[in-house]
């Protein structure tokens, strides 16, 4: 890992933290708020790639663990990792990694523009939504004492917003690929 990688990891960790400044939207029937920080996870994966994207998310979670209020709503501290959102937080790391892995495998500079857009969208949906939900929903079901399928059905309320975030990540990933071609040389 070189200096540029470290700077990019820190930059995207900061982007995730800044997205946490947007107030969360709480819903009465599920203890997990709607936040913009999952967009940062998708951006880190699509733009930085698997290793650097996951590292950026790990850096944010380290900041949370030492008690800094960097999560949406000003949350932080070790107690967050024992709450209902802990599965989603762990899922962020794997989601960014898978998002980056899919982007690294599917996106090529010589591809037509539409193929690049669709590849970034696939990466954001698979990693940023699918993998994050895969970790988040079982833990939420366990913590809430509800059946998994009941929790999964309640979690569908997040899907429209997450699809919008995936679309934004797709646009940003494609813009960075065309505007800064050295960045996609992922480590």
> pLDDT truncated to tens, each residue of the chain (187 aa)?
899 899 999 999 999 999 998 887 877 777 777 889 999 999 999 999 999 999 999 999 999 999 999 999 899 999 999 999 999 999 999 999 999 999 999 998 889 999 999 999 999 999 999 999 999 999 999 998 999 999 998 888 899 999 999 999 999 999 998 887 655 555 4
Separation in Å, CA 151 to CA 63, 139, 186, 187: 29, 10, 36, 37
One-character DSSP codes across 57-120: HHHHHHHHHTT---BTTTB-SGGGGGSTTHHHHHHHHHHHHHHHHHHHHH--TTS-HHHHHHHH
Q: Report the pLDDT value the prediction gives residue 22, as an integer from 0 to 100.
A: 85
Q: Report the pLDDT value the prediction gives residue 95, as an integer from 0 to 100.
A: 98
Please report how the helices 113-123 and 159-179 are oriented relative to each other, as an axis angle in degrees rounded to 10.
130
Q: Report the pLDDT value the prediction gives residue 174, as an integer from 0 to 100.
A: 94
Q: Report the pLDDT value the prediction gives residue 77, as an integer from 0 to 100.
A: 95
Q: Report the pLDDT value the prediction gives residue 73, as an integer from 0 to 100.
A: 86
Query: How is residue 2 annotated by DSSP?
Result: -
Exposed / middle / buried, residue 11 (Cβ in 10 Å: 0-12, 13-18, 19+): middle
pTM of the model: 0.92
Separation in Å, CA 135 to CA 48, 80, 89, 94, 145: 22, 15, 8, 9, 16
Which CATH number applies to 3-21+34-179?
1.10.1760.20
Which two structure tokens, joined as six digits, stand for 100?
């980056």
What does the alpha-carbon distance between residue 116 and residue 177 come to, in Å, rounded to a whole number? 9
Chain CA centroid to CA 89, Å: 9
Query: How is residue 146 annotated by DSSP?
Result: -
């Amino acid at each position: 890992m070189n200096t540029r990688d470290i700077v990019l990891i820190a930059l995207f960790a900061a982007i995730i933290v800044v997205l946490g400044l947007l107030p969360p939207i709480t819903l009465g029937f599920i203890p997990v708020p709607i936040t913009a920080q999952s967009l940062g996870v998708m951006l880190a994966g699509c733009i930085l790639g698997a290793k650097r994207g996951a590292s950026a998310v790990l850096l944010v979670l380290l900041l949370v663990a030492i008690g800094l209020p960097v999560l949406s709503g000003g949350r932080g501290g070790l107690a967050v990792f024992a709450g209902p959102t802990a599965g989603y937080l762990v899922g962020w790391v794997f989601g960014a990694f898978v998002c980056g892995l899919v982007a690294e495998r599917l996106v090529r500079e010589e591809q037509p523009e539409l193929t690049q857009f669709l590849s970034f969208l696939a990466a954001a949906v698979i990693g940023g939504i699918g993998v994050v939900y895969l970790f988040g929903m079982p833990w939420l079901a366990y913590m809430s004492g509800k059946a998994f399928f009941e929790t999964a059905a309640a979690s569908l309320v997040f899907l429209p917003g997450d699809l919008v975030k995936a679309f934004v990540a797709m646009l940003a990933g494609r813009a960075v690929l065309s505007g800064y071609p050295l960045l996609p040389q992922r480590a």
